[in-house]
Amino acid sequence: MIRHTVVFRLKRSRGSEAEGRFLADARILAAIPGVGNFEQLRQVSPKNDYDFGFSMEFADEAAYSLYNDHPDHVAFVRDRWIPEVESFLEIDYVPLTAD
């Protein structure tokens, strides 16, 4: 299992209509085959300056690769993410196994 996460800050004003549209439009990612447990999250810690997070899970590397190459993901990154996200940090996790 791979847990794909990203935290980010938008170029738009907090609470703006544009922010709401971005978050609503990002839900298209949840419909991509192989995406599981998609969540949109609001960051609340004062320890960093990101505002939101997305989290999703994939059964394996093949499912994650299909997501990355899916036309809806490619279009969202090109048309929305690149023009509208000011800063982000992406982290992909796999569970640790007990020794």
The second-level CATH assignment, the architecture, of 2-93 is 2-Layer Sandwich (3.30)
Share of the chain above pLDDT 90, in %: 90
Taking 3-state DSSP, the helix, strand and coil percentages for the chain, each rounded to the nearest 5, stand at 40, 30, 30
Domain positions in the chain are 2-93
pLDDT tens-place string over residues 57-71:
999 999 999 999 999
| CA 2, chain centre distance (Å) | 13
Segment among 52-56, 82-86, 89-93, 95-99 with least mean pLDDT: 95-99
